[in-house]
Amino acid sequence: MSSSTSSGRPKRTLGWLGAIIVVLTAVLGIGIATNQTTGAPLLALDLEGGTQMVLSPETAGGEQVSSEQMDQAVEIIRQRVDGSGVSEAEINVQGGNTVVVSLPGTPDSQTRELIQASANMEFRAVISGAQGTATPEENQTALEDFPEPTAEPANGSDPNWVTPELADEFQKLDCAAFLAEGNREPVPEDEPMVSCDPQYGMKYILGPVEVFGTQISDADFGMASAPGGISTNQWAVNLSFDSEGTSAFREVTQRITPLESPRNQFAIVLDGTIISAPSSNAVISDGRAQITGNFTEVTAQALSEQLQYGALPISFNIESEQQISATLGQDQLYWGLIAGLIGLILVAAYQFYQYRALGLVTLSSLVVAGILTYLAIVLLGWSDNYRLSLAGIAGIIVAIGLTADSFIVYFERIKDEMRAGRPLAQAVEYGWARAKRTITVSKAVNLLAAVVLYFAAVGNVRGFAFTLGLTAVADLLVVFMFTHPVMQLLARTRFFASGHPLSGMDPSLLGQEPLYKGAGKVREFKTVEQAAPARGKRNKGSSKEAQRRQTIAEKRRLEREDQLGLSSGQQTSESVDAGSSEGKK
Amino acid sequence: MSRLATWGNELYTGKKSYPFVHRWKLWFVIAAILLVISGGLTLARGGFNMGIEFRGGSEFTVSGVSNTDPAAGESAVTDVVPETVVTATNIAPNTMRVQTEHLDDNQTLEVAANLQEAYGVGADNVTSTFVGPTWGQAVSQQAAIGLIIFVVLVALLMALYFRTWKMSLAAIIGLFYVVALTTGIYGSTGFEITPSAIIGFLTILSYALYDTVVVFDKIRENTDNLEEDVQRTFSENVNLAVNQTLVRSITTSIVGILPVGSILFIGAGLLGAGTLRDISLAIFVGIIVGTLATLFIQAPLYALLRRRDSNVQEHDARILRKRSSGSGEGDAPVTEPSAVSNV
Q: Tell me how far apart the alpha carbons of residues A518 and B231 are, in angstroms, rounded to a whole number.
A: 40
Average pLDDT over residues A476-482: 93
- Whole-complex ipTM: 0.82
Distance from CA of A182 to the nearest CA of B (A): 24
What's the distance, Cα to Cα, between the start and end of chain A in Å? 30
Q: Tell me how far apart the alpha carbons of residues A409 and A432 are, in angstroms, rounded to a whole number.
A: 10
Write b or e for each residue in A300-324: b if 16 or more Cβ atoms lie within 10 A of its Cβ, otherwise e.
bbbbbbbbbbbbbbbebebbbbbbb
* Per-residue pLDDT tens digits for A275-321: 888 888 888 888 888 888 778 888 888 888 888 877 777 888 888 88
Give me the pLDDT at residue B31, please: 94
Q: Express the helix, strand and coil content of chain B in percent, nearest 5 each.
A: 70, 10, 20
Nearest by CB to A553, from B134, B221, B261: name it: B221
Residues of B with Cβ-Cβ distance to A458 under 8 angstroms: 138-139, 142
Residues of B with Cβ-Cβ distance to A553 under 8 angstroms: 221-222, 224-225
Nearest by CB to B247, from A332, A412, A441: name it: A412
CB contact under 8 A, B199 and A391: yes
Q: Tell me how far apart the alpha carbons of residues A52 and A55 are, in angstroms, rounded to a whole number.
A: 10
Number of residues that this document lists for chain B: 343
Best of B3, B53, B135 to mutate (most A CBs within 10 Å, chain A)? B135
On whether any CB of chain B is under 8 Å from the CB of A434, the answer is yes
Strands A42-43 and A387-388: parallel
Average pLDDT over residues A346-353: 90
Give me the pLDDT at residue B63, please: 80
Number of C-alpha atoms within 13 angstroms, CB side, residue A464?
32
CB contact under 8 A, B259 and A442: no
Q: Tell me how far apart the alpha carbons of residues B97 and A515 are, in angstroms, rounded to a whole number.
A: 66
Give me the pLDDT at residue A507, please: 65
Peptide bond into A107 cis (omega under 30): no
Give me the pLDDT at residue B328, please: 47
Task: Pick B28 or B334 by higher pLDDT.
Answer: B28
- Nearest by Cα to A402 from B311, B203, B177, B145: B203
- Nearest by Cα to B194 from B276, B136, B267, B129: B136
Q: Is the pLDDT of residue A1 over 90?
A: no
* Per-residue pLDDT tens digits for A86-106: 666 778 887 777 888 888 777
Q: Tell me how far apart the alpha carbons of residues B52 and B48 are, in angstroms, rounded to a whole number.
A: 12
Distance from CA of B45 to the nearest CA of A (A): 28
SS3 label, residue A258? coil
Residues of A with Cβ-Cβ distance to B6 under 8 angstroms: 509, 511
CB contact under 8 A, B279 and A391: yes
Q: Tell me how far apart the alpha carbons of residues A274 and A290 are, in angstroms, rounded to a whole number.
A: 17
Classify the phi-psi angles of A238: left when phi > 0, otherwise alpha if psi is within -120 to 50, otherwise beta.
beta
Task: Pick A551 or A142 by higher pLDDT.
Answer: A142
User: Binning pLDDT at 50, 70 and 90, where does residue B35 land?
Assistant: very high
Looking at every residue in chain A, the average pLDDT score rounds to 79
* Per-residue pLDDT tens digits for A166-216: 888 888 888 888 887 766 777 888 889 999 888 888 899 999 999 988 888
Give me the pLDDT at residue A142, please: 82
User: Binning pLDDT at 50, 70 and 90, where does residue B334 land?
Assistant: very low
Give me the pLDDT at residue A232, please: 74
Which residues are CB-neighbours of B118 under 8 A, at least 6 positions away? B72, B73, B75, B76
Give me the pLDDT at residue B2, please: 58
Average pLDDT over residues B162-176: 92
CB contact under 8 A, A339 and B265: yes
Q: Express the helix, strand and coil content of chain A in percent, nearest 5 each.
A: 55, 15, 25
User: Binning pLDDT at 50, 70 and 90, where does residue B308 land?
Assistant: confident
Task: Pick A371 or A422 by higher pLDDT.
Answer: A371
Task: Pick B59 or A569 by higher pLDDT.
Answer: B59
Best of B2, B109, B198, B210 to mutate (most A CBs within 10 Å, chain A)? B210
Contact of B262 with B281, CB cutoff 8 Å: no
Q: Within a 10 A sphere around the Cβ of A20, how many other Cβ atoms?
A: 14
Q: Tell me how far apart the alpha carbons of residues A346 and B265 are, in angstroms, rounded to a whole number.
A: 13
* Per-residue pLDDT tens digits for A440-463: 998 999 899 888 888 877 666 777
DSSP conformation letters of B112-127: HHHHHHHHT--GGGEE
Task: Pick B135 or B293 by higher pLDDT.
Answer: B293
Residues of B with Cβ-Cβ distance to A449 under 8 angstroms: 150, 154, 202-203, 205-206, 209
Burial class (CB in 10 A: 0-12, 13-18, 19+), B160: exposed
Nearest by CB to A449, from B13, B124, B205: name it: B205
Residues facing A222 on adjacent strands: A236
Best-predicted range by mean pLDDT (A36-50, A66-80, A83-97, A369-383): A369-383
Nearest by CB to B254, from A350, A356, A511: name it: A350
Give me the pLDDT at residue A44, please: 81
Residues facing A136 on adjacent strands: none
User: Binning pLDDT at 50, 70 and 90, where does residue A564 land?
Assistant: low
Q: Is the pLDDT of residue A539 over 70?
A: no
User: Binning pLDDT at 50, 70 and 90, where does residue A581 land?
Assistant: very low
Q: What is the dihedral of CA A386, A389, A394, A398, to 10 degrees?
A: -10
Q: What is the dihedral of CA B333, B335, B341, B343, to 10 degrees?
A: 80
CB pairs under 8 A between A and B: 277
Write b or e for each residue in A133-172: b if 16 or more Cβ atoms lie within 10 A of its Cβ, otherwise e.
ebeeeeeeeeeeebeeeeeebeebbbebbbebebbbebbe
Q: Is the pLDDT of residue A553 over 80?
A: no
Q: Is the pLDDT of residue A502 over 50?
A: yes
SS3 label, residue A314? strand
User: Binning pLDDT at 50, 70 and 90, where does residue B38 land?
Assistant: very high
Residues of B with Cβ-Cβ distance to A388 under 8 angstroms: none
Q: Is the pLDDT of residue A386 over 70?
A: yes
What pTM did the predictor assign?
A: 0.70
Q: Tell me how far apart the alpha carbons of residues A440 and A434 are, in angstroms, rounded to a whole number.
A: 10
Best-predicted range by mean pLDDT (A289-298, A474-483, A571-580, B268-277): A474-483
Q: Tell me how far apart the alpha carbons of residues A528 and A224 are, in angstroms, rounded to a whole number.
A: 81
Residues of B with Cβ-Cβ distance to A331 under 8 angstroms: 63, 271
Distance from CA of B83 to the nearest CA of A (A): 23
Residues of A with Cβ-Cβ distance to B124 under 8 angstroms: 325-328
Give me the pLDDT at residue A483, please: 92
